[in-house]
Chains A and B, each alone.
Chain A
């Protein structure tokens, strides 16, 4: 069965420090992979996606993620965190075909300290 694991429930980083959020997936075929961000009271906003090609993908707000098939991972990174990045981050794997439902991880809450 498809699944997504985000091992870190809560991470705190200092403003200006680098960030890496971990995501591991279980999927039988080539996965479609996504990172979404959710601010309090807001919906999910797509940061970036991977479906083929270059394994390093760039997203909005200075985020990037690297797909590593051998490790079944799709970790999200940012070189310098801003206070406005504090939010909850969700990794998701998408099923192909005509439906394209997403399976989400439980999320990682990011806190940024000044």
Chain B
């Protein structure tokens, strides 16, 4: 597609529920990132995929967070047994190449999925 698409845009979950957030990156983009943006904060890195390989998951806050990209395109971020501290906007970003050919790392972001845990 023309941009990075995320769904759902808004999700309200009761504490303890599992949620799944979807990201459709720009077609053909190799790299995919997930970020978490808490209220009033900047985005913080969660995990990185190169095609279907998850090369870095150092930012995932706990083992309740799981991400996958099985066919190297669409990605899903799953949060099990949600807690109130998981409330945030989850941003997905993609980049065409493994490394931007200009040497910089230009990410295109989706509009995000806002998760509220009650």
Which B51-80 residues have a C-beta within 8 angstroms of A? 55-56
Given A43-B111, A106-B42, residue A98 in contact with residue B106 (CB < 8 A)? no
Dominant SS among interface residues on chain B: loop
Q: Which residue of B lies closest to A105 (CB)?
A: B42
Give 11 CB contacts A-B under 8 Å: A43-B91, A44-B91, A44-B109, A49-B104, A51-B103, A51-B104, A94-B105, A98-B98, A98-B99, A99-B55, A101-B105
User: Is the C-beta of A70 less than 8 angstroms from some C-beta in chain B?
Assistant: no
Q: Is A104 part of the binding interface, using a Cβ–Cβ cutoff of 8 Å? A: yes
Contact A42/B102 with A99-B48, A101-B33, A103-B45 known, Cβ cut-off 8 Å? no
Q: Enumerate chain B residues within 8 angstroms of A104, measured Cβ to Cβ.
A: 42-44
A90 and B42 contact, Cβ closer than 8 Å, known pairs A44-B109, A46-B106, A102-B105:
yes
Q: Nearest-CB distance from A20 to chain B (Å)?
A: 19
Neighbouring B residues of A44 by C-beta, 8 Å? 43, 91, 93, 109
Beyond A43-B91, A43-B110, is A107–B100 a contact (Cβ under 8 Å)? no
Question: CA separation between A105 and B112, bound complex, in Å?
Answer: 18
A-B contact count (CB 8 A): 72
B contact residues around A32 at 8 Å (CB): 103-105
Complex contact A102–B102 (CB within 8 A): no
- In this complex, what residue of A is CB-closest to B103? A51
Interface size on B, residues (CB 8 A): 30
Residues of B within 8 A of A36 (CB): 109
Contact B110 A51 (CB under 8 A): no
Contacts of B45 in A (CB 8 A): 101-103
**Residues 49-90 (chain A) with a chain B CB within 8 angstroms:** 49, 51-52, 90
B31: Cβ under 8 A from any A Cβ: yes
Contact among B33, B56, B102 for A51, CB-based, below 8 A: B102
Q: Once the chains are docked, how many angstroms separate the CA of A36 from the CA of B107? A: 10
Query: Does A107 contact B111, Cβ atoms closer than 8 Å?
Result: no
